[in-house]
């Protein structure tokens, strides 16, 4: 049987900001092959698959030969590592707190309306949709407004569409990021199913978690493609040499009170939908909490009550940093105690800020830098830029950096003021294994100074070792409240 190339790439070159990312790259993907594409953060993986999908242009030849006789759509579909939707007027410039404002929800489609339009546009069979929704835990979200979805739920929606469409070439960039354990398992099963129907896959993901249909392995090194015989042959990055933490972060944060967070019988709902039910939670100074739960379990809403972004906080019995919510303190007075990173904050961050400005904005809890900072603060920013090895990007715009580098910049922003409470919501999304280990080592070092931590993460193998407590949510309710927690095995 004659080998049939589906994708043929010859002498492909790509430059960003005068930096050569891909250099005379060659790659042939034959029919029946499903590829894992690996490489360290910033190596050009996402750029390469965007070139294949026709979303950006470079120099060189890319030829895609679809099967015109096949029942599946002759398309190459790229599903990004995250997704930004538009409202009913075609705008996408939402602000961070808008997700929790019920008066703004009417500006976006519901999930069902979005899927209805997508199915009609692509002439898809609606009898196939429910199985996909069920597998990814999305059946109960049909009437939810898009703006009210969590980052993990947004990722799932794009995956629902992709699996439903079943294009001849499906390109998935970090598809498991932000998904809970069961959803990751079910996604692999769905990918195996559509592969058997003729969908070919290119995946950018951690090699430790793959669907069984992946049968080819490639890695980008120094702008060129290297073919590996097996997943075990993929290069393992050496451990980074850990630098000494900047001196200003070795000092204990200023503590306002012994009990930083106190919630008593807290309830949050949107109309008939109950998001949080009867939450009782206390966080004391110096404790390190792991917050877990499946996608949509209420984690992001719970954190929004802590960081001052949720308007329904005033209707509940919540004390933050020694003050009852609604007793006169401003949102900015609350945020002064907190360093926060979350996928949503990254979505809505000022894309016109440079790396230096983005990190420095953490002093003021702003999206971008709008104030002049003094010599001492400038020196602290420079120390963190050096610590995270971002020196060559210091004056670059945040938006032009590889996603992994963008995350490091925003992670540096969260700790710049040595906050009393550090809230890290999926902080390692977009980071490779080496960067993840490096960052979690930093968290372990930081927390030796008495800092209080709330850490959201699905992967038990990608957590800091310092965690001492655990809160597990399910459908908006606390099902586990563990006072002596130790990282052992992967849970929800």
- pLDDT tens digits in sequence order for the chain, 492 residues long: 456 789 999 999 998 777 889 999 999 999 999 999 998 877 899 999 999 999 999 999 999 999 999 999 999 999 988 665 544 444 444 444 445 554 444 556 889 999 999 999 999 999 999 999 999 988 888 888 887 777 778 888 999 999 999 999 999 998 987 777 888 899 999 999 999 999 999 999 888 889 999 999 999 999 999 998 888 877 766 666 777 889 898 888 888 889 999 999 999 987 778 889 999 999 999 999 999 988 778 898 899 899 887 878 778 889 999 888 877 778 888 888 999 988 778 877 887 899 999 999 999 888 777 778 999 999 999 999 999 889 999 999 998 888 778 888 998 999 999 999 999 998 887 677 777 888 888 888 888 888 899 999 877 767 899 999 999 999 899 988 887 666 544 444
Q: Which has the closest alpha carbon to 308: 97, 144, 132?
A: 97
Q: Residue 153: is it exposed, middle or buried by C-beta count within 10 angstroms (0-12/13-18/19+)?
A: buried
CA–CA separation, 90 and 321 (whole Å): 40
Question: Crossing angle of helices 403-415/375-387, nearest 10°?
Answer: 140
Tokens at 70, concatenated: 């096949």
**Given the structure tokens 């790659």, which residue do they identify?**
27
Tokens at 176, concatenated: 């498991």
Its sign, for the CA torsion 402, 403, 408, 413, is positive
* CA–centroid distance for 448 within its chain: 27
**Residues in the chain, total:** 492
In the beta sheet, which residues pair with residue 274?
Answer: 269
Tokens at 419, concatenated: 């906050």
- 324: Cα within 13 Å, side-chain hemisphere: 7
List C-alpha distances in Å: 97 to 307, 312, 367, 404.
11, 12, 12, 24
Domains of the chain and any CATH numbers: 5-233 (3.40.50.300), 247-482 (3.40.50.300)
3-class DSSP state of 85? coil
- 181: Cα within 13 Å, side-chain hemisphere: 11
User: CB-based contacts of 112: which residues, under 8 Å, 6+ apart?
Assistant: 142, 143
Q: Residue 361: is it exposed, middle or buried by C-beta count within 10 angstroms (0-12/13-18/19+)?
A: buried
CB of 431 within 8 A of CB of 403?
A: no
């Amino acid at each position: 049987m004659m080998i049939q190339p589906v994708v043929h790439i010859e002498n492909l070159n790509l430059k960003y900001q005068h930096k050569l990312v891909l250099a005379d790259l060659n790659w042939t993907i034959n029919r029946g092959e499903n590829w894992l594409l690996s490489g360290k953060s910033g190596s050009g993986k996402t750029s390469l698959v965007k070139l294949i999908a026709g979303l950006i242009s470079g120099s060189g030849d890319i030829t895609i030969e679809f099967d015109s006789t096949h029942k599946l759509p002759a398309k190459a579909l790229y599903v990004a590592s995250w997704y930004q939707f538009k409202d009913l007027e075609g705008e996408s410039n939402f602000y961070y707190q808008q997700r929790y404002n019920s008066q703004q929800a009417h500006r976006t489609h519901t999930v069902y309306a979005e899927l209805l339009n997508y199915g009609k546009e692509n002439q898809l069979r609606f009898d196939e949709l429910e199985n996909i929704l069920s597998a990814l835990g999305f059946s109960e979200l049909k009437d939810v407004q898009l703006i009210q979805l969590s980052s993990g739920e947004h990722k799932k929606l794009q995956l629902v569409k992709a699996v439903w469409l079943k294009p001849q070439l499906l390109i998935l960039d970090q598809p498991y990021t932000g998904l809970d354990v069961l959803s990751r398992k079910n996604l692999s099963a769905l990918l195996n199913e559509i592969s058997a129907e003729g969908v070919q896959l290119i995946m950018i993901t951690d090699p430790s978690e793959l669907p069984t249909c992946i049968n080819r392995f490639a890695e980008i090194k120094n702008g060129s493609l290297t073919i590996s015989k097996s997943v075990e042959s993929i290069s393992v990055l050496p451990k980074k040499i850990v630098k000494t933490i900047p001196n200003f972060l070795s000092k204990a944060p200023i503590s306002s009170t012994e009990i930083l967070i106190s919630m008593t019988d807290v309830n949050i709902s949107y109309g008939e939908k109950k998001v949080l039910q009867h939450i009782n939670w206390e966080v004391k100074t110096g404790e390190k909490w792991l917050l877990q739960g499946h996608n949509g379990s209420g984690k992001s809403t719970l954190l929004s009550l802590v960081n001052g972004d949720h308007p329904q906080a005033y209707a509940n019995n919540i004390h933050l940093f020694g003050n009852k919510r609604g007793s006169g303190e401003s949102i900015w007075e609350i945020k002064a105690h907190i360093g926060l990173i979350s996928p949503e904050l990254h979505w809505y961050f000022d894309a016109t800020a440079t790396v230096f400005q983005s990190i420095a904005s953490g002093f003021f809890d702003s999206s971008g830098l709008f104030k002049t900072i003094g010599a001492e603060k400038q020196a602290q920013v420079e120390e963190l830029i050096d610590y995270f090895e971002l020196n060559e990007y210091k004056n670059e715009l945040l938006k032009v950096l590889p996603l992994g580098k963008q995350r490091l910049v925003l992670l540096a922003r969260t700790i710049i003021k040595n906050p009393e409470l550090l809230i890290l919501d999926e902080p390692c999304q977009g980071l490779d294994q080496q960067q993840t280990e490096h960052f979690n080592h930093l968290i372990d070092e930081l927390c030796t100074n008495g800092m209080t931590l709330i850490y959201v993460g699905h992967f038990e193998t990608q957590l800091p070792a310092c965690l001492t407590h655990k809160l597990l949510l399910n459908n908006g309710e606390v099902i586990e409240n563990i006072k002596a927690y130790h990282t052992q095995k992967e849970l929800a």
